Each structure stands twice: as structure tokens, then as C-alpha cells.
Amino acid sequence: MDNWDDLRFVVALARYGSMANAARHLRTNTATVSRRIKRLNEGANTPLFLKGATEWELTEEGRRLYEMAAGFSDELEAFKAAAHEGAHSTQTIRVTGLEFLNTSILAPALKSFRTENPNITLELGATDRNVSLAYGEADIALRLTHPNEGRLMARRIADIKMGVYGRKDTATTEWIGLPYDLDWTPEMKNGVSFFGREPSFRVSSFAAILEAMTETGLSGIAPDFMISSFNQFELLQPKYSRRVREVWMLVHETRKNDVGIQNTCNWIEESFSSLLD
């Protein structure tokens, strides 16, 4: 292997599936990705990838090279993070999760974070996509499902109870839910089961549901901890039949000795502590 820098392109294409996505994460262009992969194929005297129906897939030879390169890439990222921490007085840590968790749990606790960690710049990002911790898309991830990827350290930090709510005086069978692409979630299935019908309105977030419930008088689904400040609403279903979503905090194992990551994880866990059964 004449150029070890080419291995970054193997890792990116294997993890992101397309030349365009790999280029985006490497901050280059598709022509460069294609050229580097072609050079690797020629150096190995065998194809490392084959074009599948929707994305590029590793060959057997490519898989062996990827496993070596991925481990090297992960360790290099850990080394760079440690070097950065030693050379600079500040550190930027990116936390990604769902918007309602950032808005309702983490953002209100930022004052305590700043007091305890004055040298850390914290970025709270929101996405429904499972970002890659191994490839540095985020440093810490919060998810509502237990992870099944390798080399991730996972800790359950909260139980979010989701219920069906409506006005105390005029509860209605019309209700407000989340978008169609979230119909698979336990909370949406709970709403459909309870009301026996699809929602009359769909909005993008739980905060939007609560605002729409307030304005329309319709019922809706929401996390218990968010509904507590809306005295006009009550739980319409038995408490035992609510849905519970587990919140998992994930960190790649190569970051386990990063003091800034550890401090941030401790703050996140403390912020969610009241929601853990």
C-alpha cells in the first residue's frame, strides 16, 4: 500500500455507501473519491468494491482492508482528540439526539454545564438519523433504541413515558400526532390503538403537538415530563398502558479516556436522572 491516506476513502465509502456521501464527509469531491478507490483497486490487483443496487458494497478483499483501515482510523481519531486536549485549553464536543430531548432536558441545564466545564464548547445537534460515532459525525449520541453496532459503549440514562392526553373537560377522539415516517414508533402506535383512527393533524415535534392541542382543543400524544406544565390536559389512558422509551447514551470506545467526554457524559446523565426509573 503506497499511500496510507487512501485508506480514509475506503472507510468513508464503506460506511456511507455512495461516492457523494463519502466525498461530503471527507470534504472533497466525488471525482477524488473515485480516483482514490481506483488507485487502491489497481494496487491490490482486485476490486475492493462492487456497485450494488443502491450503494457500493465491499468485496471479500475489500472487507479485510476495511477492517484494518477502520481500526486504524478510529485509533487515529482518538489520538488526535487526546493531542488536541493536551495542546489546547478548550475542547469542542458534539452531542446529537432528538430535538425534544435537547430542548426540554439539555438546553435548560446548560448553565450548570458551563459552570462545571468552562473549557468545553458544547454543540447540541438534533437528528432522527443514527450518526456515526466511529467516523466522527458526533462525539456523544442519544438514542431511543438500544444500539447494535460494534465498539460503542452504551448506557441507559432515562425512561421516557409517553401517553395519550386531552382536555379535562372536553376530551375528543380527534387527535394530533407525529409525521407519517414516525408511525412505526410505540407512541404513535399507542395513539392509533387508543383512538382507533389515524390522527386528524400531524406536526413535526412533541412541542408542536402541545401547541396545537392548546389551540385546537384536540387530544394528542406527548411525553409525561413535557405535559406536566399544561394543567388543562389529563392522561386519558390508564397509567400502566403508557409506552416507555429508553434513552441510551453512546460513546465510541476509543474516546473512553477522554476527560472532556467523560465530564460531558456525567452532566448528561445528571440532567436526565429524574427520568430514570
- CATH code, domain with 220: 3.40.190.290
Any idea how long the chain is?
277
Instruction: Tell me, yes or no, whether 101 and 149 share the same domain.
Output: yes
Instruction: Tell me, yes or no, whether 232 and 268 share the same domain.
Output: yes
Instruction: Tell me, yes or no, whether 35 and 126 share the same domain.
Output: no
Q: What pLDDT is recorded for position 127?
A: 79
Last residue of a domain, one of 86, 112, 127: 86
Instruction: Tell me, yes or no, whether 135 and 259 share the same domain.
Output: yes
Instruction: Tell me, yes or no, whether 75 and 96 share the same domain.
Output: no
Q: What pLDDT is recorded for position 87?
A: 46
- When divided into structural domains, the chain yields a total of 2
Instruction: Tell me, yes or no, whether 55 and 158 share the same domain.
Output: no
Instruction: Tell me, yes or no, whether 128 and 43 share the same domain.
Output: no
Instruction: Tell me, yes or no, whether 77 and 148 share the same domain.
Output: no
Answer whether 233's CB lies under 8 Å from 213's CB: yes
Last residue of a domain, one of 42, 67, 86: 86
Q: What pLDDT is recorded for position 6?
A: 74
- CATH code, domain with 52: 1.10.10.10
Last residue of a domain, one of 58, 86, 114: 86
Instruction: Tell me, yes or no, whether 12 and 134 share the same domain.
Output: no
* Residue pLDDT tens, the chain, 277 long: 455 667 888 888 888 888 888 888 777 888 888 888 888 888 888 898 888 878 898 898 888 888 777 766 555 555 555 555 554 457 889 999 899 999 999 999 998 898 888 889 999 988 777 777 776 778 999 999 887 777 788 999 999 999 999 998 776 789 999 999 999 999 999 999 999 999 999 999 999 999 999 999 999 999 999 988 888 999 999 999 999 999 999 998 888 888 889 999 999 999 988 776 5
Instruction: Tell me, yes or no, whether 96 and 191 share the same domain.
Output: yes
Instruction: Tell me, yes or no, whether 201 and 80 share the same domain.
Output: no
Instruction: Tell me, yes or no, whether 141 and 272 share the same domain.
Output: yes
Q: What pLDDT is recorded for position 123?
A: 92
Give me the domain span that covers residue 50: 4-86
